[in-house]
Structure 1
Amino acid sequence: MNKRVAVIGAGWAGCAAAVTLCRQGHKVTLIEASRTLGGRARAVQIQDQLLDNGQHIMLGAYTACLDLMRLLKIDQSKTLLRLPLQMVYPHQTGMQFIAPKLPAPLHLIFALVKTRGLNREDKMALARFSTTARWMDWKLNQDCTVSELLQRYEQTERLCRLMWNPLCIAALNTPPERASAQIFLNVLRDSLGANRLASDMLIPRVDLTHLLPEAAATYVKQHGGEVIDGLAIHTLVPTENHRWQLPELTQERSNSSIFDCVIVATNPDQCARLLGTLRPLSSDDEQFASSEMAFEYEPITTCYLQYPESVKLSRPFFALADEPTKNYWGQFIFDRGQLNATQSGLMAVVVSASTGAIEQSHANLAQAIMQQLAQQLGIPELAQALWTKVITEKRATFSCTPNLKRPTNQTTFRNLMIAGDFTESAYPATLEAAVRSGVMAAKAIV
């Protein structure tokens, strides 16, 4: 039977849940506290243009994201730049690893043979790790940290510094000495260990709100649903017949405030607060709302640097050698002008797990990053930008540590689900984890 379902939160998880529900024939009300859809992956206004609150890289292995984009008829050739798997540093720094367009695993074998900046010992260590991981089916008997895993399989210092550690921080947003080795292996399994297209890197050409959430909102409206922004939901009230009331919804904002089911697709803290307003039916309910969503968090910082339109990199993006002791914090630089013709001269520099970097002021951090770029890329013009903007999401992701307990989509309350990148998953806190969680929560309604 068709049900009335409220989805609280229009991030990527909430949008995925809303679209899936509409496709199943349910009547959906998608509610977002902000005026901008997308949650922690959204557009922001900077210098009269829409940019992202953080530069992202997606993977070809993000099957749930790509399937949802196809359902929404989003033209991926126009909205995403697809590049082969690569880890390319500037010539002044070292390694250049680029996978050719060959069937898996030949693309990795040829990439390893042709890689510059690694010696024979480094390449043998990389081949040994990849072979062993496949033999283990990418599974550990006991989870440990990524650093412990790399040490166990005798990965060289240079290989860890230029390949494994940057990949770990980029994928899990958690330093390797604290990051879950099993989750890291899961990401490698679905990218390096799968077909060649799965390992491709997908860089958004448009801002993240336009990339998916706005198309999802349009889909909901076209299927008879509602999209309400600028409304925060603070209370859930159970009613008769196991239905739910949202008191903040008035007749001016919605057709009804009573719903057959509710999916809470906010961040973990907001979700815990909202569930905490409910009277526990048992001691398990109270434990669910508190301990299972008590995460530690990791920040991500993006530094935007606008240069004259003539400034251009030789590639769409480079990996950077971060050295905090030298005040070098940048880990990746993206030439936005090669992604979007209207953004010539604009660079986006990403600092994942940026706790140390954000201890200084935005102005000092931007200056340090500009000096790093000029030195490592060998382009003196990068030492002085026309303007800079530093954006930090202090709670961008949870800290993805070994054996971390994450809640399921199901709550102990009937007809009440949760969704988000923090729910139980084989993936870290990524767009793919968020979309998968939203789809699973929606399917659990049935």
Structure 2
Amino acid sequence: MKQLTIVGAGWAGLAAAVAATQAGWQVRLFEAAPLAGGRARSLQQNFAGKPLDNGQHVLIGAYRATLALMRSVGLDPNVLLQRCPLDLRFADGQGLHLPDWPLPINLLAGVGRAQGWHLKDKVSLIQASWRWQRAKFSCDDTWTVAQLCDAARLRPRVLQQLIEPLCLSALNTPVQQASATVFLRVLHDALLGGTGSSDLLVPRVDLGALLPDACLQWLTAHGADIHLGERVTVSTFEKLAQATSPTQSVLLACPPWEAARLTADIAPKWAYMCAELQHTAIATVYLRCTDAGFSGLPRPMMALYCDEQAPAQFVFDRGALTGQPGLLAAVVSACQGERDEVSEQVYDQVCEQLELTNLEVVQTVVEKRATLACLPMLNRPEPWVSQGVWACGDYISGPYPSTLEGAVRSGQQVVTQVG
């Protein structure tokens, strides 16, 4: 029987472990943290008797690999995820909202109904979408999203209320720096991936219950050897690498800086490439509202006007989503400030834009290296590291940015290459 040792139990490592087990491999899985899930995991801190998460995540309907993985380990995405047609409206009602209709009718109707948009705004988006579709959602590989929008003559309001929040949420990189090629690829899958592809899928449960816990249970039931809270040292890893054979392989499913540490001696060029990758941060500010009569936001997810002093792009109603009444989660993609400063700025921003008075910061979670900086012409490491040693993760070469879908796809695809 083939044996696969996996280092890291984030979403990529879990996806690889399930795929390898399904293919008949004997899997051994190591995770340094006491909980699985990587950057999309539950915290030990609770609110209203339920866990907080290390960040507020959103999936989209086009994330088919992730949804299929959930089903394969016995989960029902329709129960665990709140499905909403794309809704990027602000508290004042402005912004884009797609009706739950088939493509492209929903897009045309959503643009036509967009509140606060002038006719020229709407025409500029429709024309840009048509040009991108005619170009098969491709462009100059050196372009940033800002250059793409400039070439398409998009109006400033469309850029501010649609493109910027989409780019930040999908690529976690500002439009002035983000790869237009990758952005168009995500747009293609969302807009042309079939019915429901552009829908937002917001978790109704903590991130542990969304996938990692079920994966561990499934793997255990199918004979996998799981070691949580056990860090693989360089010496242990080198012994594993030396013991590889046609029937025994090692898969690195840990973050790139950890992969670089482990492979510095056996694959220095590959390790250097991992170590040189640039990352961007994401902050999630959890706020408790105690305003008299507050029963939640008008919608489970709302857009926020953002600038340097008001950095959050979205706010989520955890009361409506996860049964934690009064709890809001504001997300700051491409976060650049320090924790205390960001907490204060988001507190003021949410108070002002949602017209709330009695708020308190419950917790601010900052993932300083949450995702790759998705830059044009980004050179990402290949999955092959050295003889018998492979790697997967949202930083490995592939078509997707650093998303949960990118991680899952990478984990599944590398198993076919190892085999």
TM-score by length of 1: 0.89
> How far apart are residue 143 of structure 1 and its match?
3.0
- 1:380 paired to 2:371: no
Offset of residue 293 of structure 1: 4.7
List aligned pairs for 1:5-84, cutoff 5 A.
5-47=4-46, 49-84=50-85
For 1:266 and 1:303, locate their aligned partners in 2 and report how far apart those are by CA, in whole Å: 26
Q: In structure 1, what is the equivalent of residue 287 of structure 2?
A: 305
Q: Gaps spanning 5+ residues in structure 2: where? A: none
Q: 1 CA distance for matches of 2:333 and 2:240?
A: 44
Tell me how far 1:348 sits from its aligned partner.
Answer: 0.1
Is the contact between residue 86 and residue 98 of structure 1 (CA under 8 Å) also seen in structure 2? yes
Q: Does 1:276 align with 2:264?
A: yes
Q: How many residues align?
A: 413
In 1: Cα distance, 2:342 partner to 2:380 partner: 34
- Equivalent in 362, 380, 401 of residue 428 of structure 1: 401
Contact 1:60 1:200 in 2 (8 A): yes
Q: What whole-Å deviation, never above 9, does each CA across 1:186-216 have from its counterpart, x for those lacking one?
A: 0000002332311110001111122111111
With over 3 angstroms needed to count, the CA separation of the structure-2 counterparts of 1:267 and 1:292, relative to structure 1, is closer
Q: Could you tell me whether the CA contact under 8 Å between 2:145 and 2:177 is conserved in 1?
A: yes
Displacement of 1:233 in angstroms is 0.7
After the TM superposition, which residues 256-267 of structure 1 pair with which residues of structure 2 at under 5 Å, given as runs? 260-267=248-255
- In structure 1, C-alpha distance between the alignment counterparts of 2:321 and 2:348, rounded to whole Å: 24
Deviations 1:343-373 (A, max 9, x none): 0110000000011x32xx52x4333322212
Cα distance in 2 between the residues matched to 1:82 and 1:401? 30
Contact 2:140–2:181 (8 Å) recurs in 1: no
Instruction: Give the Cα–Cα distance (whole angstroms) in 2 for the partners of residues 390 and 292 of structure 1.
Output: 28
Over aligned residue pairs, what C-alpha RMSD do you find? 1.9
Match of 1:371 among 339, 348, 352: 348
State the AA in 1 paired with 2:95.
Q
One-letter amino acid of the counterpart of residue 435, structure 1? V
Q: 2:378 aligns with which of 404, 423, 434?
A: 404
d(CA) in 1 for partners of 2:197 and 2:223?
35
Q: Does residue 1:296 correspond to 2:264, yes or no?
A: no
Q: Secondary structure at the match of 1:261?
A: strand
Q: Does 1:441 align with 2:417?
A: no
In the TM superposition, 1:129-278 aligns within 5 A as 129-235=128-234, 236-237=237-238, 243-244=243-244, 260-278=248-266
Structure 1 residue 239 displacement after superposition: 7.3
Between the aligned partners of 1:19 and 1:354, the Cα distance in structure 2 is 33
Give 1:32's aligned amino acid: E
Query: Matched residues, percent identical?
Result: 35
Match of 1:350 among 316, 323, 331: 331
Using the alignment, how far apart are the partners of 1:374 and 1:25 within structure 2? 54
Alignment partner of 2:322 out of 318, 325, 340: 340
The structure-2 alpha-carbon separation of the partners of 1:337 and 1:290, relative to structure 1 and needing over 3 Å to count, comes to same
Q: Secondary structure at the match of 1:165?
A: helix
Q: Does the aligned pair in 2 maintain the 1:40–1:396 contact within 8 Å?
A: yes
C-alpha distance in 1 between matches for 2:41 and 2:274: 26
Q: Gaps (5+ residues) in structure 1?
A: 246-258, 279-284
Q: Which residue of 1 aligns with 2:365?
A: 391
Structure 1, residues 31-71: CA drift from partner, whole Å, max 9, x if none? 10000111111111224541111101100000110110111
Separation in 2 of the partners of 1:199 and 1:38? 25
Is the aligned partner of 1:320 residue 2:294? no
CA distance in 2, matches of 1:421, 1:239: 23
Scaled by the length of structure 2, the TM-score of the pair is: 0.94
Counterpart of 1:316 in structure 2: which amino acid? P
Give the match's secondary structure for 1:186.
Answer: helix
Distance 2:193 2:244 in 1: 43
Deviations 1:134-168, CA, capped at 9 Å, x for gaps: 00000124331111111111111111111111111
Query: One-letter code of the match for 1:243?
Result: A
- The residue that corresponds to 1:252 in the other structure is none
Q: Secondary structure at the match of 1:197?
A: coil
